[in-house]
Amino acid sequence: MSRDIQLKERWDILVEKLSVQFADGDTLELDAIIYLVGVQELGKIHNTYKKDEKLDLMHIAICRLLEPYGFYVFDYFDEDGWPHYIVKEELPPLKAGEQSVLMKEAIVTYFVEKEYIN
């Protein structure tokens, strides 16, 4: 099976499973899934977050998701338990579609590692 087909199949399974669990079956978009990863990484799943905190959660998620690709490296947890990352390598210029594929691949890999999907 080609890598692209496998990624699409895994992505569709992941979106369906997360949508049922977190959105009453409404289809979650990429940004919402990135936000969920950020909440998972912070570990404070029952908190209510302000708009700026939601953006911070998405930043945490992007750093964590792209860490295995060598773009970020974990640095430390601050006094409030928020993880901080250092830019290890700048992301190359990517077209919107390429960014989307990279993030979907990183998210699928993350959820496979967490054994949420196969």
Structure confidence by residue, pLDDT tens digits, 7-34: 999 999 999 999 999 999 899 999 999 9
Percent residues over pLDDT 70 in the chain: 99
Percent of residues in the chain assigned helix, strand, coil, to nearest 5: 60, 10, 30
| pLDDT average, residue stretch 62-86 | 97
Q: Over 80: is that where the pLDDT of 1 sits?
A: no
For the entire predicted model, the pTM comes to: 0.92
Please state, in angstroms and rounded to a whole number, the distance separating the CA atoms of residues 109 and 92: 20
